[in-house]
Amino acid sequence: MRNTRIHRPTAVMLAAAWLWLPASLAGAAELYASGHVGFSRATGEGTGSNSLLGQSASGDDDDASPMYGGAFGIAVPLSQALPTFDLPYWPGRAVRINGSESFRLPGWRTLIEAEAITGRDFGFSTPGHSTLTPYITDVSSTTFLGNVRLDVPIQAPLNLLFGRLPMLEPVTVYIGAGAGVSWNDVETTDTVNSGSEESFEIAWQGGAGFGYALSDTLHASFGYRYLDMGTVDMRFDAGPNEGSFDADLTSHEVSAQLRWHFYHIPFFGRE
Protein backbone atom coordinates (compact mmCIF):
# COMPACT_ATOMS: atom_id res chain seq x y z
CA MET A 1 0.00 0.00 0.00
CA ARG A 2 1.40 3.35 -0.99
CA ASN A 3 1.30 6.16 1.55
CA THR A 4 0.22 9.56 0.30
CA ARG A 5 1.99 12.50 1.93
CA ILE A 6 0.74 16.05 1.67
CA HIS A 7 3.50 18.64 1.69
CA ARG A 8 3.09 21.27 4.41
CA PRO A 9 2.47 24.29 2.10
CA THR A 10 -0.14 22.30 0.18
CA ALA A 11 -1.80 21.18 3.39
CA VAL A 12 -1.96 24.75 4.64
CA MET A 13 -3.59 25.94 1.41
CA LEU A 14 -6.09 23.08 1.43
CA ALA A 15 -6.96 23.72 5.07
CA ALA A 16 -7.50 27.38 4.25
CA ALA A 17 -9.75 26.43 1.35
CA TRP A 18 -11.87 24.43 3.82
CA LEU A 19 -12.99 27.76 5.29
CA TRP A 20 -15.02 28.36 2.14
CA LEU A 21 -16.66 25.01 1.60
CA PRO A 22 -19.91 25.36 -0.31
CA ALA A 23 -23.09 25.79 1.64
CA SER A 24 -24.43 22.55 0.17
CA LEU A 25 -22.63 20.70 2.96
CA ALA A 26 -25.06 22.12 5.50
CA GLY A 27 -28.51 20.83 6.27
CA ALA A 28 -31.74 22.76 6.28
CA ALA A 29 -32.99 25.07 9.00
CA GLU A 30 -34.36 23.22 12.02
CA LEU A 31 -35.98 24.03 15.33
CA TYR A 32 -34.31 22.54 18.40
CA ALA A 33 -34.55 22.30 22.17
CA SER A 34 -31.61 21.68 24.48
CA GLY A 35 -30.90 20.86 28.11
CA HIS A 36 -27.85 22.12 30.02
CA VAL A 37 -26.14 20.98 33.24
CA GLY A 38 -22.86 22.22 34.62
CA PHE A 39 -20.93 24.13 37.24
CA SER A 40 -20.43 27.84 37.72
CA ARG A 41 -17.51 29.32 39.67
CA ALA A 42 -18.38 32.91 40.50
CA THR A 43 -16.41 35.85 41.82
CA GLY A 44 -18.21 38.41 43.95
CA GLU A 45 -16.51 41.77 44.30
CA GLY A 46 -18.14 43.63 47.18
CA THR A 47 -17.81 47.22 48.37
CA GLY A 48 -19.61 48.31 51.54
CA SER A 49 -19.84 51.64 53.34
CA ASN A 50 -21.02 52.73 56.81
CA SER A 51 -22.26 56.30 57.24
CA LEU A 52 -21.66 56.31 61.02
CA LEU A 53 -18.02 55.32 60.69
CA GLY A 54 -17.48 57.19 57.45
CA GLN A 55 -15.53 54.25 56.10
CA SER A 56 -15.75 51.80 53.23
CA ALA A 57 -14.34 48.32 52.75
CA SER A 58 -13.99 46.20 49.62
CA GLY A 59 -12.73 42.81 48.54
CA ASP A 60 -13.66 39.72 46.59
CA ASP A 61 -14.39 36.05 47.15
CA ASP A 62 -15.08 32.94 45.04
CA ASP A 63 -17.66 30.19 45.28
CA ALA A 64 -18.91 27.36 43.06
CA SER A 65 -22.41 26.10 42.39
CA PRO A 66 -24.17 23.65 40.08
CA MET A 67 -26.45 25.11 37.42
CA TYR A 68 -29.05 23.78 35.01
CA GLY A 69 -31.47 25.00 32.37
CA GLY A 70 -32.22 24.85 28.68
CA ALA A 71 -32.68 26.67 25.43
CA PHE A 72 -34.99 26.81 22.44
CA GLY A 73 -33.77 27.99 19.06
CA ILE A 74 -33.26 27.60 15.34
CA ALA A 75 -30.27 26.05 13.57
CA VAL A 76 -29.51 27.38 10.08
CA PRO A 77 -26.54 27.21 7.72
CA LEU A 78 -24.37 30.33 7.98
CA SER A 79 -24.99 30.94 4.30
CA GLN A 80 -28.71 31.33 5.06
CA ALA A 81 -28.33 33.15 8.39
CA LEU A 82 -26.69 36.22 6.84
CA PRO A 83 -28.26 38.37 4.12
CA THR A 84 -26.93 38.67 0.59
CA PHE A 85 -25.28 42.03 -0.08
CA ASP A 86 -22.83 43.75 -2.44
CA LEU A 87 -19.41 44.88 -1.20
CA PRO A 88 -18.06 47.74 -3.38
CA TYR A 89 -14.34 47.63 -4.08
CA TRP A 90 -14.13 50.11 -7.01
CA PRO A 91 -16.51 52.73 -8.42
CA GLY A 92 -19.16 50.80 -10.31
CA ARG A 93 -17.83 47.42 -9.21
CA ALA A 94 -18.72 45.19 -6.27
CA VAL A 95 -18.43 41.63 -5.05
CA ARG A 96 -21.70 39.97 -4.16
CA ILE A 97 -21.32 38.34 -0.75
CA ASN A 98 -23.15 35.04 -0.25
CA GLY A 99 -25.02 35.34 -3.51
CA SER A 100 -22.70 34.32 -6.34
CA GLU A 101 -19.59 32.38 -7.17
CA SER A 102 -17.50 35.45 -6.31
CA PHE A 103 -17.81 34.86 -2.59
CA ARG A 104 -20.02 32.36 -0.84
CA LEU A 105 -20.24 31.90 2.90
CA PRO A 106 -19.78 28.35 4.19
CA GLY A 107 -22.70 26.24 5.30
CA TRP A 108 -21.56 25.87 8.93
CA ARG A 109 -24.43 25.39 11.37
CA THR A 110 -25.40 28.62 13.12
CA LEU A 111 -27.50 28.41 16.28
CA ILE A 112 -29.74 31.31 17.30
CA GLU A 113 -31.44 30.65 20.63
CA ALA A 114 -33.18 31.90 23.75
CA GLU A 115 -31.60 30.40 26.88
CA ALA A 116 -32.59 30.26 30.55
CA ILE A 117 -30.13 28.97 33.19
CA THR A 118 -30.84 28.79 36.93
CA GLY A 119 -29.68 26.90 40.03
CA ARG A 120 -26.73 29.18 40.76
CA ASP A 121 -26.41 29.82 44.50
CA PHE A 122 -23.21 31.43 45.80
CA GLY A 123 -21.93 32.51 49.20
CA PHE A 124 -19.25 35.20 49.51
CA SER A 125 -17.35 36.61 52.47
CA THR A 126 -15.62 39.94 51.78
CA PRO A 127 -13.75 42.31 54.16
CA GLY A 128 -15.83 44.55 56.41
CA HIS A 129 -14.90 47.46 58.68
CA SER A 130 -13.24 45.03 61.11
CA THR A 131 -12.24 41.40 61.21
CA LEU A 132 -15.31 40.73 63.34
CA THR A 133 -17.77 42.22 60.84
CA PRO A 134 -17.10 40.84 57.35
CA TYR A 135 -19.75 41.19 54.68
CA ILE A 136 -21.49 37.82 54.24
CA THR A 137 -23.36 37.73 50.94
CA ASP A 138 -25.70 35.10 49.51
CA VAL A 139 -26.48 35.32 45.80
CA SER A 140 -29.01 33.40 43.70
CA SER A 141 -28.80 34.18 40.00
CA THR A 142 -30.88 33.18 36.96
CA THR A 143 -29.94 34.34 33.47
CA PHE A 144 -32.09 34.86 30.37
CA LEU A 145 -29.88 35.27 27.31
CA GLY A 146 -30.16 35.45 23.57
CA ASN A 147 -27.21 33.54 22.12
CA VAL A 148 -25.57 33.03 18.75
CA ARG A 149 -23.24 30.07 18.24
CA LEU A 150 -21.24 28.91 15.22
CA ASP A 151 -20.40 25.20 14.85
CA VAL A 152 -17.33 24.60 12.67
CA PRO A 153 -16.76 21.02 11.42
CA ILE A 154 -13.22 19.66 11.65
CA GLN A 155 -13.77 16.69 9.33
CA ALA A 156 -12.35 18.31 6.18
CA PRO A 157 -9.00 19.53 7.58
CA LEU A 158 -8.50 16.26 9.45
CA ASN A 159 -9.09 14.27 6.26
CA LEU A 160 -6.65 16.45 4.36
CA LEU A 161 -3.90 16.21 6.95
CA PHE A 162 -4.31 12.72 8.43
CA GLY A 163 -6.70 10.77 6.25
CA ARG A 164 -10.15 9.53 7.18
CA LEU A 165 -10.81 9.27 10.93
CA PRO A 166 -14.40 7.98 11.23
CA MET A 167 -14.74 8.51 14.99
CA LEU A 168 -13.85 12.20 14.65
CA GLU A 169 -16.01 13.00 11.63
CA PRO A 170 -19.01 14.12 13.75
CA VAL A 171 -16.85 16.50 15.85
CA THR A 172 -17.23 20.27 15.64
CA VAL A 173 -15.65 23.15 17.48
CA TYR A 174 -17.80 26.11 18.35
CA ILE A 175 -17.63 29.71 19.47
CA GLY A 176 -20.56 31.69 20.80
CA ALA A 177 -21.69 34.84 22.53
CA GLY A 178 -24.87 36.23 23.97
CA ALA A 179 -26.51 39.03 25.92
CA GLY A 180 -29.63 39.49 28.01
CA VAL A 181 -30.54 39.92 31.66
CA SER A 182 -29.74 38.27 34.98
CA TRP A 183 -32.20 38.06 37.83
CA ASN A 184 -30.10 38.36 40.99
CA ASP A 185 -31.46 37.84 44.51
CA VAL A 186 -28.80 39.18 46.90
CA GLU A 187 -28.78 39.21 50.72
CA THR A 188 -25.89 40.78 52.65
CA THR A 189 -25.06 41.28 56.31
CA ASP A 190 -22.04 42.56 58.22
CA THR A 191 -23.35 40.85 61.41
CA VAL A 192 -24.71 44.25 62.54
CA ASN A 193 -26.63 45.57 59.53
CA SER A 194 -28.29 43.66 56.73
CA GLY A 195 -29.89 44.35 53.39
CA SER A 196 -31.42 42.51 50.43
CA GLU A 197 -32.19 43.29 46.84
CA GLU A 198 -33.79 41.57 43.86
CA SER A 199 -32.96 43.14 40.53
CA PHE A 200 -32.63 42.53 36.82
CA GLU A 201 -29.21 43.47 35.47
CA ILE A 202 -27.63 43.48 32.01
CA ALA A 203 -25.73 40.20 31.45
CA TRP A 204 -23.48 38.94 28.67
CA GLN A 205 -21.41 35.85 27.93
CA GLY A 206 -18.83 34.46 25.52
CA GLY A 207 -17.36 31.00 25.20
CA ALA A 208 -16.18 28.04 23.14
CA GLY A 209 -16.21 24.26 23.18
CA PHE A 210 -16.66 21.00 21.27
CA GLY A 211 -19.71 19.34 19.78
CA TYR A 212 -20.48 15.78 18.64
CA ALA A 213 -23.33 14.61 16.42
CA LEU A 214 -24.77 11.50 18.04
CA SER A 215 -27.32 11.20 15.21
CA ASP A 216 -29.03 13.42 12.66
CA THR A 217 -31.28 14.85 15.39
CA LEU A 218 -29.25 14.52 18.61
CA HIS A 219 -26.13 16.59 19.27
CA ALA A 220 -24.00 16.72 22.44
CA SER A 221 -21.53 19.43 23.36
CA PHE A 222 -19.23 20.45 26.18
CA GLY A 223 -17.80 23.90 26.66
CA TYR A 224 -16.65 26.85 28.74
CA ARG A 225 -17.93 30.39 28.95
CA TYR A 226 -17.30 33.61 30.83
CA LEU A 227 -20.47 35.22 32.21
CA ASP A 228 -20.96 38.74 33.55
CA MET A 229 -24.12 38.91 35.68
CA GLY A 230 -23.99 42.64 36.39
CA THR A 231 -23.75 44.73 39.58
CA VAL A 232 -26.34 44.78 42.35
CA ASP A 233 -26.66 47.86 44.62
CA MET A 234 -28.43 47.75 47.98
CA ARG A 235 -28.99 49.93 51.05
CA PHE A 236 -28.54 49.18 54.74
CA ASP A 237 -31.05 51.02 56.93
CA ALA A 238 -30.31 50.53 60.62
CA GLY A 239 -30.52 53.90 62.31
CA PRO A 240 -27.13 55.60 62.56
CA ASN A 241 -25.40 52.68 60.88
CA GLU A 242 -27.09 53.04 57.52
CA GLY A 243 -24.88 52.34 54.57
CA SER A 244 -24.70 50.62 51.20
CA PHE A 245 -23.24 47.54 49.56
CA ASP A 246 -22.42 46.87 45.89
CA ALA A 247 -21.86 43.36 44.53
CA ASP A 248 -20.20 42.89 41.11
CA LEU A 249 -20.88 39.33 39.87
CA THR A 250 -18.94 37.36 37.25
CA SER A 251 -18.44 33.63 36.71
CA HIS A 252 -16.54 30.97 34.79
CA GLU A 253 -18.82 28.15 33.72
CA VAL A 254 -18.46 24.70 32.19
CA SER A 255 -21.49 22.79 31.00
CA ALA A 256 -22.63 19.75 29.04
CA GLN A 257 -25.52 20.14 26.61
CA LEU A 258 -27.80 17.76 24.75
CA ARG A 259 -29.63 19.26 21.78
CA TRP A 260 -32.62 17.71 19.97
CA HIS A 261 -33.48 18.93 16.48
CA PHE A 262 -37.17 18.14 16.26
CA TYR A 263 -38.61 20.06 13.30
CA HIS A 264 -37.38 20.89 9.81
CA ILE A 265 -38.58 24.29 8.61
CA PRO A 266 -39.91 23.70 5.08
CA PHE A 267 -39.63 27.22 3.70
CA PHE A 268 -35.84 27.25 4.15
CA GLY A 269 -35.46 24.15 2.01
CA ARG A 270 -32.20 22.36 1.44
CA GLU A 271 -29.44 23.76 -0.66
Domain of 223, CATH number, reads 2.40.160
- Please report which confidence band the pLDDT of residue 90 belongs to, taking 50, 70 and 90 as the band edges: confident
In a domain? residue 219: yes
- The whole-number average pLDDT for the span 36-45 is 92
In a domain? residue 56: yes
Number of domains in the chain: 1
Q: So what's the pLDDT on residue 7?
A: 40
d(CA 208, CA 114): 17
In a domain? residue 21: no
Phi-psi group of 144: left, alpha or beta (phi > 0 → left; psi -120 to 50 → alpha; rest → beta): beta
157: containing domain: 38-266
In a domain? residue 14: no
In a domain? residue 31: no
In a domain? residue 6: no
Q: Between the CA of residue 19 and those of 6, 14, 15, 23, 34, what are the distances in Å?
A: 18, 9, 7, 11, 27
DSSP letters spanning 59-118? EEEEEEEEEEEEEEEEEEEHHHHS--EEEEEETTEEEEETSSSSB-----EEEEEEEEEE
Q: So what's the pLDDT on residue 20?
A: 36
d(CA 260, CA 99): 30
In a domain? residue 226: yes
Q: So what's the pLDDT on residue 72?
A: 97
Stronger pLDDT, 25 or 134, i.e. the higher one: 134
> What pTM was estimated for this model as a whole?
0.78
In a domain? residue 120: yes
